Every structure is written in C-alpha cells, then in structure tokens.
A and B are shown apart, each in its own frame.
Chain A
Amino acid sequence: MESNMSILIENTDVSLKYAAHYNSVKEVLFRNSAEEMNAHRKKALQDFITQGIPTRKNENYKYTNLQPRFSSEFRYIHEREPAEVDLHAVFRCDVPLLDTHLAFLFNGWFYEDNSKIGELPSGVILDSLENVAHNNPGLIRKYASLAQTEDDPLVALNTAFAKDGYFLYVPENTTVELPVQLINFLQAKESAYVTQRNFIYLEEGAHVKVISCDHTLNLNHYLNNSVTEIFAGPNANLEYYTLQNQHNYTTSLNSVFIHQEKDSKVTTLNSSLHGGLIRNNLKFNMDGENAEAFLYGMAFIDRKQHVDNFTQVIHGKPHCMSNQVYKNVLDDESTGAFTGRIHVVRDAQKTNAFQRNNNILLTDKATMQSKPQLIIDADDVKCSHGATVGQIDEEALFYLRARGIDEAKARLMMMNAFAYEVIQQISIEPLRKRINELVDKRLRGEVARCHDCAYNCEC
C-alpha cells in the first residue's frame, strides 16, 4: 500500500485528468459495448490510477517521457464516427503484386465499408472487434487476459477506453494463403486521442500472415494508444508485420501481447519508417514446449524523432527458442531506446534465447540507449545478448570508395546492408521488395511514402 501511495504522489494532474475524463465519458464507453469488454473497464481504470501516465521514474519507461504527450489537448474519440471521405477512393496501397485480404481501420474503428476483404477460407473471421463481441462473445473469452492491466498503465488506459479494432480468427488447421492486410488510418479535424484494440486468435495448426500499416492522412496531432492481443494455439504459425509510417506530430503507442502454445511459431517484424514518438511494447509469453519466437525490428529516424522498442520474452516452458534482432539508424538529433527482457523461468530447461541490438548513429547529437535484461532461473539454457552503438565502418567505406564508388553512394550501400539483415526476413516477396525500396528512400533522406500523400510537408 505504501508503494502505491508514493506512486500516487508522483501521479500528476495529467493522470488525474485521464481518470476524470473516464468518469465523464463512462456512459458512452459502456453504451453499445458488449459485456465481455465492459466487464474489464472498472478494474482497468483502477490499475491505471495506481500506475499513472509513466514518468521516467518508471523503470520500463525510463527512456521515453510520455507526460508531455499526454498533456496535450485532444478530442477523445470514443464513438464510431463516419469517415468523411471514401477511404477506398483516397487510398490505394501501391505495393505492386501484393494481393491481400484488405481491411481499413479509421481512427481505431473497423471501417464500415470494408469491401476489399475478399473471400476468406471457411471459418476465418476478419471483422470489427465490437461486432464479434456482440455476435460471437465465445470467441473473445480470452479478451483482456493476455494483456495485463496491472503491469502497464498504457494497457490499463486502453482497456478502460477500448471500443473497437480488428478481430481476426483462424480456425483449426486452416491456412490463409493470402496475407491479411490492415491499414490503420488517422484522420480527424482536430488533434485527436485514439484507442484501438485488436485481437488475433489462431486455433491449433492455423497459419496466417498479417500486415498492419499505420498512416496519418492529415497533419493534425494524434496520440494513438493501441493494444493487440494474439493467441497462437498449438502448432499455429503467425507472421506479423507492422509498418509505421506516420508524421512527426504523432505519438504512436503500441502494446502487443503474444501467447504461444506448444509447437507454435510466431515471427514479428516491425519497421518504423517515420513517426514523432513511437513506443512499441512487445511481450511474448511462451507457454508450451517447442515454441519458436522471432522478433525483428528496424527503425530509421531523424530530426527530433524518438523510437523506443521494449521487448519481453518469457520462456515459460522447456525446449523453446527465441531470437531477437533489432536495428536502428539514427540521424540528426533523434533519440532511440531498446530494452530487451528475456525471462527463463525455473524448469524451462533447454531454452535457447538470443538477442541482438545494433545501432548506427549518423551524427554526434543522435543518442541511443540499449538495455538487455536477462533473468535466468533455469540452469540448462543457452542465452546470449549483444548491443552495439557505432558509426559506419570506416574500413569498409574506404574499401568501397577505393573501387570508385563515391562516398555518398558507399554510405548508402553500407546502411542498406545494415538494414538488410532484418528486411530479408520478410517472407512476402512484394512486401520485402517494397520495404527495401522504402528503406532505401528513407536512407537517401527522401520521405518514404507508400502512397500519394495529401500533404507536402516538413513532417
């Protein structure tokens, strides 16, 4: 109790503002929501109040100060609002040859006119979470059980406010051949606070690839606090690609929780191409033997952008394997952080857990914090971690220049090579090619846009 008190004292007006806001919109939050989601709100709010908006004193948020971001004035979107434009008309994903089951999300809500989903295999559901909670509550019985509200105030706040997002269900032994693509748009008339809540449920032996792309459609300020829960049943196989491409006035907070049953394999790959402040929480709970987890990430940031990746892999059962590779290129005055926590619990013998974080700083003003955290309570395990922060290898640069390649081009080749270790893990070929191009553009200092932006800006 005493520790709670001290946190409460640390708790600032900002946190209290959000608690008060909850009370003022409570009716809206509960209205039209299914019992399965409403049942968690009250506890979630309590958990939020106990923790508050994280300050740097919160060890898990040491490198990202969220207080100023949450202090901004926002309009809070708690109800479905019609999109003012036809999203199909304003946006066309221009990745050539990328054929997907395509769904849009608009300010956190599953778009009403998702006409491009196409034909899914029998039993597969791709729908609004709100709809599924109403019509098929049995499918979301695990809702809010993977994402713990006690451990993270952002998750608590999301759970208190959550109304909608996408829901993807793949039944037993079903393979979805085409990738499922979700495009998350932010577009509001004024600065907006957005809550998105997603759930991916893979039954035993289910296979699916998911691509989730974040875009901003205008220059207003946004704070998006999203939570995604993923359940991978026995022998399930998920590839989960996230592409973050938002403007500099966006705060993008993403918490992804992945529960793995035995023999399952989950690969996540995040590309942060653009954004103001990005914080990605990625928490794996390996709860069955012989599960495999691959966590890849890359970020390319400049100016005053900030990217913070926080991973946690809990090896809860023996004979599991996890591998993390995170790479960042930081230019100008940008700042980055990586925390990689691996927890091998007692009796999780024969664990293999690896982690690597490599960073290139292009200027003296860019900074990177890298913090591995290994907690190993079993004795027969193989674990490794490594972090590097450095400049481009001058010897290699000279080698390229000595073959007639000019300095700028040689530097670009080196940076592309640095990123390629992550890019090559993308198994969807058209996506891999496009991300490779976008990374190349980004490294050239051009704005890497995947579509015709409505804005030409300094963002």
Chain B
Amino acid sequence: MLSIKDLFVEVEGMEILKGINLVVKPGEIHAIMGPNGSGKSTLANVLAGKEEYTVTHGEVTYLGEDLLDMAPEERAQKGLFLSFQYPVEIPGVPMVNFLKTAVNEHRRSRGEKELTAGEFLKFMRTKMEMVDMHAQLTNRSVNEGFSGGEKKKNEIFQMALLEPRLAILDETDSGLDIDALKTVAHGVNALRNSGNATIVVTHYQRLLDYIVPDHVHVLYGGKIVKSAGKELAFELEEKGYDWIKKENGE
C-alpha cells in the first residue's frame, strides 16, 4: 500500500529525515516511536503533503502511484488521512459545512453521487455515535473553542466519516486523559479492516495498549534505527530512549 524508499526531507534548510525506508501493507498497524525531535511529525506531514517540507531525495509510492507528485487534496481523496497533532481552529467555517464538503469531495473523486444535506446529516449521526461526538461540537466552527481532547476526538470523527485506506495518527494520544484515549482507540479499532492500514506516530507506549501494532519502528536522528514487533514498544516504555541513543553513538 505504502512504500517509502530512502526518503530525505529538509525543512527551512535543515535536514530532518535522512533516508527513511518503510513498507506498509493492507491490514497492518505500524507504530513509529522515538524521542522528541527525531522527525516523527515531519514524516507524518510530508506524507500528507505539507508544502514547507522539501523532499531532497527518495520516493514514496502509494497504491502504485507517486505520492509526492500529488496535491494534499488528491492524497486525501485517494484515502490518505492525517490525524493532526495540533488541529487548527477555523472560525467562521461551520463544522457541518466543512465535513459535508470533505465527504462530497471524496465521493466526487470516486465518481459517486454527492450526498444531499439530509443524507449527509443521517450519515454523520451514525459516525457521531461511533466516536461519542457531541452534537454541540458539530454545531460550532471547525475546532473553535474545542478542548485538546475534543480536538483529537474530532480528528477521529473525521476519520470515521472519510473512511481512509491509510490513516496516519500523529501524536493522537498527546493531551488525552485515559477515558478520551480509550474512546479514540475504540474509534480507530472499529474502523479497522483487512483492506486499510494505520500508522501510529507516538512518543509513549500507552496508546499502543489499546491500538495494538504489528510492527514498531524507532525513529532517531531522521532514520529508522530499529524495527521489531509490538514487544519493542514495551521495551522502550521500560528502558526509555537512552539506550537507543547510546546504540547510535550518542
């Protein structure tokens, strides 16, 4: 589904990613862990198409196509979803308008009929239940006045509406209390099937108690320095990142 080959990325002249290789297959959950500043969010953002990131080398193939050649909206329409670490507040853009436009842009790109307002609201209600989204939030502007937890929940709610093939969750667990964490994880698990895949980017192991990964990768200094099964996450939780840093010559 996703194949990253020797990816180098610069932000404002600073080299952040220094040769990433990663293959994600349908049905898999990959966790990308690592200390702060190791390049985790950069990887998430570059996959979503953020423009400040310059790819200096390497290639990314998504569903057999060159991902880096696509505009952010095209990537999204083809099923790539980024759950933002810091979802943006957009005053004046009503949630319902935003969600309906997003869903219909996806449908249009697949050659499906756009949903009417009535159809959309019905569809939205079923998804709201799934992630325990309150109606009062959908009556506001996008993320406006949402608490940290509500913003993260809103990301998973959008994910439920857009039904992505590849979801990238960027620090979705940060700022969440344990109940919110469970709700979010429940939403992610409910959306899983054999045809889609998830990349969980996280600093801590605790989200992985609820979203169990098939593969765990440690990103350090812009490279994946270790890959293993889910047991690696426990090891990191226990020993911290210092041993990784030592192993890599710090």
What is the interface of chain A, defined by CB distance below 8 A to chain B?
393, 395-396, 398-407, 409-410, 413-414, 416-421
Q: Enumerate chain A residues within 8 angstroms of B49, measured Cβ to Cβ.
A: 401-402
> How far is B72's CA from A185's CA once the two chains are assembled, in angstroms?
47
> How far is B101's CA from A282's CA once the two chains are assembled, in angstroms?
39
> How many residues of B are counted as interface, with CB atoms below 8 angstroms from the partner's CB atoms?
30
> How far is B82's CA from A11's CA once the two chains are assembled, in angstroms?
64
Chain B residues 63 to 92 lying within 8 A of chain A, measured CB to CB, are 71-73, 75-77, 82, 84, 87-92
Q: Is B126 an interface residue, CB under 8 A from the partner?
A: no
Q: Enumerate chain A residues within 8 angstroms of B93, measured Cβ to Cβ.
A: 400, 413-414, 416-417
Q: Which of B73, B84, B98, B141 contacts A407 (CB 8 A)?
A: B73
Minimum distance in angstroms from B61 CB to a CB of chain A = 20
Does B92 lie within 8 Å of A404, measured CB to CB? no
Q: Enumerate chain B residues within 8 angstroms of A400, measured Cβ to Cβ.
A: 90, 93, 98, 102
Q: Chain A residue with minimal CB distance to B91?
A: A417
Q: Is B209 an interface residue, CB under 8 A from the partner?
A: no
| A-B contact list, 20 entries, CB within 8 Å | A398-B50, A399-B87, A399-B88, A400-B90, A400-B93, A400-B102, A401-B71, A402-B49, A402-B84, A403-B98, A403-B102, A403-B105, A404-B76, A404-B102, A404-B105, A405-B102, A407-B71, A409-B105, A413-B93, A418-B92
Those 8 A-B pairs whose CB atoms lie nearest each other, nearest first: A417-B92, A404-B76, A403-B102, A401-B72, A404-B105, A420-B92, A399-B88, A417-B93
What is the interface of chain B, defined by CB distance below 8 A to chain A?
48-51, 71-73, 75-77, 82, 84, 87-93, 97-98, 101-102, 105-106, 109, 141-142, 158, 162
**Given A398-B50, A407-B73 in contact, is the A414-B90 Cβ separation under 8 Å?**
yes
Q: Enumerate chain B residues within 8 angstroms of A402, measured Cβ to Cβ.
A: 48-49, 72-73, 75-76, 82, 84
Minimum distance in angstroms from B81 CB to a CB of chain A = 8
> How far is B93's CA from A188's CA once the two chains are assembled, in angstroms?
43
Does B90 lie within 8 Å of A404, measured CB to CB? no
**Given A399-B88, A403-B162, A404-B102 in contact, is the A417-B73 Cβ separation under 8 Å?**
no
**Given A413-B98, A417-B141 in contact, is the A405-B105 Cβ separation under 8 Å?**
yes
Q: Enumerate chain A residues within 8 angstroms of B51, measured Cβ to Cβ.
A: 398
Minimum distance in angstroms from B106 CB to a CB of chain A = 5
**Given A398-B50, A413-B98, A413-B101 in contact, is the A403-B76 Cβ separation under 8 Å?**
yes
